[in-house]
Amino acid sequence: MLKTAQQLITQAAQNLGLDQFSIDALLATDAEHQFEIELDSGKKLHAYRVQHNNKLGPYKGGIRFHPDVDLDEARALATLMSLKTAAMGLPLGGGKGGVSVNPSEMTDQELEEISRKYVRGIHEHIGPDKDVPAPDVNTNGTIIDWMVDEYEKITGDTSKASFTGKTIKNGGSLGREAATGRGGVIALSELLKYDGLAAESLTFAIQGFGNVGSFFAVIAEQYPNWKLLATSDSASTVYSPSGLNANDLFDFKEGRGRFSDYKAEGAKHLSADEIIGLDVDVLVLAALGDAITEDNMRDVKAKYIVEMANGPVDKAAIDYFTERKVSILPGIIANAGGVIVSYLEWVQNKKNEHWTEEEVNQQLTEYMIEAVKNLVETSKEPGVINLPEAAFIIAIRRLTK
């Protein structure tokens, strides 16, 4: 993922005529914090926070709890965050962090201990005007609330603007939970308008049905001409040629079900990987990075790929799809809904205001419409070969102004 992010930055920067010194400066991270969390049980965990670039504002980016978290992953995700906040025109920079841990093997008490000890390890380097973390994979409002509480205890800051993605009762924003999925649906619908496909019937599949994938599915139901044929979790794909009911899938996942046990009329079960090769118009990638690489890119039949995860399509696959005229809606725009509403949460905390969900969704919609307009216009500039390159060009122009 890091290699792909760096190659995309380099390609776009070269297109803009930047010299190697400026490209190296764009690739470099500002700071990398690594530390060990020792639990009361004696278990030791590796923890990270990478701060990539704060030229446009405080570092911003999630904290992930996952066994694959390491320094390279945090570097890649921090880099993508700086490019994302810049591509969206937000006054924020990019950072990312995490703990290398499998949360399903931890008790709630241990998760709280990890969250609080993470903050103890990093508190000097974060803060409302310095670096504002948020939830990411396997972290949520409850975990962020523990982190805010720990941060308040250590620093005395009571603004709640030290983290975003808090629960509503603790200063979170209405609309934040659904924001990434909602933003992705708006972005796809805007892109289809530019391609003259707004009124066409389309089928789609969603890899990953966590926070992002599930809200994408539910919000996409507002488009009666889009039909969800398949979705997956880490163990299996559920597929129905006559269409799946997003709300039913949502309720099933809320009950912590596994798709291998999901039953609905006409629904079949396939392996988790098979979702990539299904015959659908749009493939939405909402699981993890590097989901499509040289190994499986030839299986893809979709004409549109929506990057809801960070870095789900590697550089070789992006080049392959460009040759075949498959459009990739790049993650630094498609999945920016989360950071937009995080930004709106931070503004509300700073002003001590609470906006309605309609107000938040309205602002999110305006950001997404403007971003896709910029994306399409930039992709038509001479020498720009695809939408990912256009997105990186928009971001780099702002970062090097």
Q: Which residues are catalytic?
A: 96
Q: Residue 127 gets which letter from DSSP?
A: B
Quick check: 224 and 251 in contact, CB under 8 A? Answer: no
Q: Does 246 bind ligand NAD (CB under 6 A)?
A: no
Residue 40: how many CA atoms within 13 Å on its side-chain side?
8
Interacting residue with ligand NAD among 308, 364, 368, 375 (CB under 6 A) = 308
Rounded Cα distance between 259 and 206, Å, is: 13
Interacting residue with ligand NAD among 310, 374, 378, 386 (CB under 6 A) = 310
Where are the alpha helices (H) located in 175-223, listed in sequence order?
Answer: 176-194, 211-220
| Segment interacting with ligand NAD, rule: CB under 6 A, options 203-211, 313-321, 370-378, 381-389 | 203-211
Position of tokens 């020498």? 383
Rounded Cα distance between 188 and 372, Å, is: 9
Interacting residue with ligand NAD among 189, 232, 348, 378 (CB under 6 A) = 232
Quick check: 156 and 184 in contact, CB under 8 A? Answer: no
| Segment interacting with ligand NAD, rule: CB under 6 A, options 47-55, 205-213, 218-226, 388-396 | 205-213
Size of the site for ligand NAD (CB under 6 A): 23
Binding residues among 137-196 for ligand NAD as defined by CB under 6 A: 137-138, 180
Nearer to ligand NAD, 85 or 348 (CB): 85
Binding residues among 282-301 for ligand NAD as defined by CB under 6 A: 286-288
Q: Does 335 bind ligand NAD (CB under 6 A)?
A: yes
Q: Does 338 bind ligand NAD (CB under 6 A)?
A: yes
In single-letter form, the type of residue at position 198 comes to A
Interacting residue with ligand NAD among 272, 369, 376, 384 (CB under 6 A) = 272
Residue 390: how many CA atoms within 13 Å on its side-chain side?
22
The least distance separating ligand NAD from the CB of residue 284, rounded to whole angstroms, comes to: 11
| Segment interacting with ligand NAD, rule: CB under 6 A, options 119-127, 206-214, 263-271, 375-383 | 206-214
Nearer to ligand NAD, 74 or 326 (CB): 74
The least distance separating ligand NAD from the CB of residue 356, rounded to whole angstroms, comes to: 20
| Segment interacting with ligand NAD, rule: CB under 6 A, options 30-38, 113-121, 229-237, 388-396 | 229-237
Beta-carbon contacts of 77 under 8 Å, excluding residues fewer than 6 positions away, are 1, 50, 61, 62, 64, 96, 136, 310, 311
Rounded Cα distance between 345 and 68, Å, is: 29
Nearer to ligand NAD, 54 or 180 (CB): 180
Q: Residue 3 gets which letter from DSSP?
A: H
The least distance separating ligand NAD from the CB of residue 280, rounded to whole angstroms, comes to: 15
Q: 3-state DSSP call for residue 268?
A: strand
The least distance separating ligand NAD from the CB of residue 333, rounded to whole angstroms, comes to: 11
Interacting residue with ligand NAD among 29, 51, 100, 207 (CB under 6 A) = 207
Length of the chain: 401
Interacting residue with ligand NAD among 208, 276, 306, 349 (CB under 6 A) = 208
Give helix 141-155 / helix 108-122 axis angle, nearest 10°: 40
Question: What is the edge-to-edge ordering of all strands in the sheet holding 59-65?
Answer: 31-38, 44-53, 94-99, 59-65, 131-135
The least distance separating ligand NAD from the CB of residue 70, rounded to whole angstroms, comes to: 15
Q: Does 79 bind ligand NAD (CB under 6 A)?
A: no
| Segment interacting with ligand NAD, rule: CB under 6 A, options 120-128, 228-236, 263-271, 314-322 | 228-236
Beta-carbon contacts of 183 under 8 Å, excluding residues fewer than 6 positions away, are 334, 335, 336, 337, 338, 340, 364, 367, 368
The least distance separating ligand NAD from the CB of residue 383, rounded to whole angstroms, comes to: 29
Interacting residue with ligand NAD among 61, 94, 210, 330 (CB under 6 A) = 210
Q: How far is CA 136 from CA 156, 235, 260, 279, in A?
A: 25, 20, 25, 30
Q: How far is CA 159 from CA 48, 112, 127, 155, 285, in A?
A: 24, 21, 10, 11, 35
Q: Does 260 bind ligand NAD (CB under 6 A)?
A: no
Q: What residue ranges bind ligand NAD (CB under 6 A)?
A: 136-138, 180, 207-213, 232-234, 272, 286-288, 308-310, 335, 338
